[in-house]
């Protein structure tokens, strides 16, 4: 029986990790001998190819390559159609990537993999979190936990270095950005505040650099390289290479070709930093807001931890060092730290499954009635870390504003605010607005504004109620579980009875039948 693994399902690169027999989290190398797997899928004659070969094919076969799908998780309108006419949703593309990772880990370890902890951006709301869980199911994995990426990074760093104090995790990945502040000590990882932007990452830096290069190429007499799929894919690849080069050197040269014109375009780090300065400023503003939400100022932050490959850019390190008043930590690999934290959380999941502990300190016993192999003990003084995360977004309900002249005057009532410790359970009493009202509609929202225009509806349910006079009280109780998915109970305060419950089946995610159908289709795919 295999143990649970950790997976960092990234926008541009993904990684898998496990806690080895010596109690150390380690990256599991893929079949190509790489520690990171590009989150790119190429469909060749309808068969999916994942990873480096797919990424290299983005220029030669751009219409058959799909990448950056993580930014579309939970978006029901997003579809990818292959040249053969087969349509895939974001969950299915992510499932293909997860299946490839699952197969690679099984090949490396020589045993089946059925369970995983999968990381997500802290600012993911209900829809992309559920979509991630569905992607795992389609890939043949039981997603035991959905873990916030900054929390995973802090967990890996904290366990390895036995950290004490407050930690600010600045996580700038390929497509998403998060900041989390937590207090670490005595094995406790207590998240204080988190916020982010699910559409801000290295992809956006590449986009601005692509526009700059395209403008210079046109000024030199060439055509726009953004007008055709192949030319744009080639420009994106060269912009990414140039961005990486400028991480280590002050200037580089980019060879651009199109329409019979070939030019060498010089580019300096200062020019790149100037054109992308607005993006860096957005990350700074979010970081300062989160530190304030945690009830701290920068002198009260003891450690600044960088996660995500985009934090390698010198301007990012310089900015966060300047605002924090201290150098960010450089002893961790920002590309791998999230996967390593996921592996530690996966190890904790396995410990929770085991019913007993052996006297030599390694856990053993039975899991689901099956004899389990002894589990290694983490090679750290922090052998059993405890994580307490928070909600990334508020959870509320739409209601007619008290004293409103019309039933159309609606407000959003926040029941569980952002940055509430999870799991969380809170209630709010509402009253009927008409005599003999027999129906009660509960509309669930995510967001922290009282204006309905600035929150997102994620589900609803209508209940039959007794015909009381207007003003009859009903309590709506919301529960956020450890994966930040939502469950609702409704209580009749007059009779003292519960009138119903429901779990939010987010309209943006796949229905159960769709997941089952996608799972069946996945089993038939030969993924390379």
Q: Which residues are catalytic?
A: 8, 70, 149, 171
Query: Which candidate, 98, 193, 115, places its Cα nearest to that of 154?
Result: 193
**Cα angle 219-220-226, degrees, rounded to a multiple of 5:** 65
**Cα gap 139→114, rounded to integer Å:** 10
**Cα gap 278→200, rounded to integer Å:** 11
The helix/strand/coil state of 23 is coil
Residues with Cβ within 8 Å of residue 280, at least 6 apart in sequence: 273, 315, 316, 319
Query: Which candidate, 247, 245, 252, places its Cα nearest to that of 267?
Result: 252
Cα dihedral: 150, 421, 5, 352 (round 10): 150
Whether 16 contacts 105, CB under 8 Å: yes
For residue 298 the two structure tokens come to 């920068």
**Cα gap 5→114, rounded to integer Å:** 9
For residue 176 the two structure tokens come to 């998403």
Give the bridge partners for 306, in sequence order: 170
**What is the chain's alpha carbon radius of gyration, rounded to the nearest angstrom?**
25
Residues with Cβ within 8 Å of residue 158, at least 6 apart in sequence: 167, 184, 189, 382, 385
């Amino acid at each position: 029986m295999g143990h649970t693994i950790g997976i960092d399902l990234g926008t541009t690169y993904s990684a898998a990790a496990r806690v080895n027999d010596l109690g150390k989290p380690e990256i599991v190398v893929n079949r190509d001998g790489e520690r990171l797997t590009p989150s790119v899928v190429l469909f060749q004659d309808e068969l999916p190819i994942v990873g480096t070969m797919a990424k290299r094919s983005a220029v030669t076969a751009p219409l058959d390559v799909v990448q950056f799908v993580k930014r579309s998780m939970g978006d029901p309108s997003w579809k990818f159609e292959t040249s053969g006419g087969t349509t895939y949703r974001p969950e299915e593309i992510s499932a293909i990537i997860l299946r490839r990772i699952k197969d690679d880990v099984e090949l490396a370890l020589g045993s089946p993999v059925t369970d995983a902890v999968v990381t997500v951006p802290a600012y993911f709301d209900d829809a992309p979190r559920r979509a991630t869980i569905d992607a795992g199911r389609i890939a043949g994995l039981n997603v035991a936990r959905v873990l916030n990426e900054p929390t995973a990074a802090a967990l890996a760093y904290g366990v390895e270095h036995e950290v004490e104090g407050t930690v600010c995790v600045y996580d700038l990945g390929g497509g998403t950005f998060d900041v989390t502040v937590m207090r670490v000590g005595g094995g406790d990882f207590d998240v204080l505040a988190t916020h982010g932007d699910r559409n801000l990452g290295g992809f956006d830096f590449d986009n601005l650099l692509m526009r700059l290069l395209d403008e210079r190429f046109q000024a030199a007499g060439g055509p726009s390289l953004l007008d055709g799929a192949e030319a744009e894919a080639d420009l994106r690849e060269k912009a990414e290479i140039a961005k990486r080069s400028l991480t280590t050197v002050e200037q580089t040269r980019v060879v651009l070709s199109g329409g019979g014109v070939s030019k060498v375009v010089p580019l300096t780090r200062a020019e790149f930093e100037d054109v992308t300065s607005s993006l860096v400023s957005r990350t700074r503003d979010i970081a300062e807001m989160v530190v304030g939400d945690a009830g701290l100022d920068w002198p009260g932050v003891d450690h600044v931890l960088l996660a995500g490959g985009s934090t390698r850019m010198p301007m990012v390190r310089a900015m966060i060092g300047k605002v924090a008043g201290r150098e960010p930590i450089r002893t961790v690999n920002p590309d791998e730290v999230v996967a390593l934290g996921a592996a530690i959380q996966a190890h904790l999941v396995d410990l929770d499954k085991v019913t007993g502990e052996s006297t030599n300190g390694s856990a053993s016993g039975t899991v689901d009635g099956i004899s389990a192999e002894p589990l290694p003990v983490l090679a750290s003084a922090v052998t059993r870390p405890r994580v307490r995360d928070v909600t990334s977004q508020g959870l509320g309900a739409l209601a007619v504003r008290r004293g409103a002249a019309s039933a159309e005057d609606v407000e959003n009532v926040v029941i569980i605010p952002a940055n509430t410790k999870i799991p969380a359970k809170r209630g709010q009493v509402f009253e009927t607005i008409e005599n003999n009202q027999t129906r009660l509609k509960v509309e669930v929202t995510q967001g922290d504004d009282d204006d309905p225009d600035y929150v997102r509806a994620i589900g609803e349910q209508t209940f039959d109620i007794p015909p009381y006079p207007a003003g009859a009280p009903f309590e709506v109780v919301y529960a956020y579980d450890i994966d930040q998915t939502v469950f609702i109970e409704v209580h009749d305060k007059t009779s003292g009875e519960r009138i119903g419950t429901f779990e939010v089946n987010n309209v943006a995610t796949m229905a159960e039948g769709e997941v089952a159908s996608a799972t069946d289709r996945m089993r038939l795919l030969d993924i390379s």
